[in-house]
Amino acid sequence: MTATPSTTVANFRDLGGTPLSGGRTVLPGLLLRSGQLDRLDLGADPVVAALGLRTVIDFRTEAERADHPDRLPAGARLLVGDVLADKVNSGAMPAAAQLKDLLSDPVVAEEHLGGGKAQALFGGVYRSFVLSGSAQAAYRMLLTEAADPASGPLLFHCTAGKDRTGWGATVILSLLGADDDTLMAEYLSVNPAVKRAFAPMIEGFTAAGGDPDIALALIGVFPSYLEAAMNEVETRYGSMEKYVREGLGVSDETVEALRASLVA
């Protein structure tokens, strides 16, 4: 559970070393998470270059991918699992780019996101990670690929690497045997890196009179966000294992292969 000092990828983390039940840990260098790879430069980023990434899974929307296309290491294959496709297509959620637009206008931001509306929005988004067909397809792909030794080292990411990516990390670490405190600690651990990456946006918004709590609600992650998804799993399926088996359609054999590949 270590922050990796990538110089060209925001919020880059190796899930290796995360503590699991029975004194075990996640093997290092095989499963990585980050923000978008639009600035990846292996020549200036020896940490990422040394990993020899084989697979990149991009959870972003079509608009996000078009605006900031990934740069891939030579030989790595790119897989797209658009987590939010159903929610964006239904009009139930503004695309991430529109959320950034909201932060350019404090008055509009207050109207749409003030008074707890931002937190409510994210609660709904996190529940959709569990329930929507597009999200289920994306996380099924993640688990299937992570369970295949030929796919690793594997990096999965979204835009900031905190919400869609955070849920993916939670699901995998839970299956590997991380306890609830460890899951929450990993989930929240991205906050410093995310705030650094978005500092100019936050500063510009607050300098223009925007409510800093609104900016932080959009930019950061909070326990209530992850709890919304975890509660949905518990309510709909009763356990993470049943969510993975019945909701994602991932076989017990694949979960066992995931553990065999990633647990030290």
State the distance between the two ends of the chain, measured CA to CA, in whole angstroms: 13
> Could you tell me which residues are beta bridge partners of residue 19?
25
Are 34 and 9 a contacting pair, CB within 8 Å? yes
Is residue 217's pLDDT more than 90? no
Are 171 and 143 a contacting pair, CB within 8 Å? yes
Rounded to the nearest 10°, the torsion over CA 86, 71, 66, 120 is 40
Q: What is the pLDDT of residue 99?
A: 62
- 95, 57, 104, 99: which is closest to 76 by C-alpha? 57
pTM here is: 0.93
**Span 49-66, average pLDDT:** 95
* pLDDT higher at 99 or 87: 87
pLDDT tens column, 139-179? 999 999 999 999 999 999 999 999 999 999 999 999 999 99
pLDDT tens column, 218-231? 889 999 999 999 99
Give the residue extent of every domain in the chain: 2-262
CATH fold for domain 2-262: Protein-Tyrosine Phosphatase; Chain A (3.90.190)
Rounded distance, CA 250 to CA 242, Å? 10
